[in-house]
Amino acid sequence: MKIAVIDYGLGNMRSVEQALAHLGAQAQLTSAPADLEAADALVLPGDGAFGDGMKGLAEHGLVEPIRALAKTKPLLGICLGLQMFFESSEESPGAVGLGLLKGCSKRFTGAAFGAAGGLKVPHMGWNRLSMARPHPVFEGVADGSHVYFVHSYYVAPADAADVIARSDYGGPFCAVAGRERFVGCQYHPEKSQRAGIRMLRNFLDWAGR
């Protein structure tokens, strides 16, 4: 199976590529719209700021192709990739997201955080997933599995039906969201050892159906 890992100059794309290759997929790091078109499925990874991410996609002429292909091809968003599925982010006011889902990214704030509450930002480390509804990508992954997060912002879907799984950090937040053929996770499956590798394998299986 041919997987296009979308490279727009931000973050560690290599780990995702290597994890997919480890699972036997033909993973290609690319920023060419034609490669996205030719692939069986797409992965949109990314670390860094929301505004920089959208700017990177725009500079490579990828915004419209991703919007269009998300309707026809399986698409997995990771970390910033998930955040860019949405319309906007508190991190980069004014920057417009892909808008595949309604809602925005918000910063972890409130009494539970910082010196007073003791919770640190970024939310970095292993935390539990709690499934909101079954999804093919989570087949065989136990509810409550730990996955590896690194982020300061979390997505707040306007439509609760888009939430696939939550985690808890000073309160529940959306850790996985999606609809139809696209799904995004806030954590890094490629860094989440056995559970994460299982999710990636499930994504490949799902994309193949």
Q: What are phi and psi of 83, to 5 degrees?
A: -60, -35
Q: Per CB under 8 A, does 112 bind another protein?
A: no
Please state, in angstroms and as integers, the Cα–Cα distance from residue 30 to each residue in 14, 84, 177, following that order: 11, 18, 24
Q: Per CB under 8 A, does 198 bind another protein?
A: no
Is 90 one of the annotated active-site residues of the chain?
no
Q: Select which of 79, 104, 174, 185 is catalytic.
A: 79
**Residue 161 contacts by C-beta under 8 Å, 6 or more apart in sequence?**
none
CA of residue 99 relative to chain centroid, distance = 14
Span of 42-50, 87-95, 130-138, 171-179 interacting with another protein by CB under 8 A? 42-50
Burial of residue 152 (CB within 10 Å: 0-12, 13-18, 19+) is middle
- Which position among 6, 19, 155, 176 is part of the footprint of another protein (CB under 8 A)? 19
Q: Per CB under 8 A, does 148 bind another protein?
A: yes
Return residues touching another protein (CB under 8 A). 12, 14-15, 18-19, 21-22, 47-49, 114-115, 120-128, 144-146, 148, 150-152, 168-169, 190-194, 196-197
Catalytic residues: 79, 188, 190
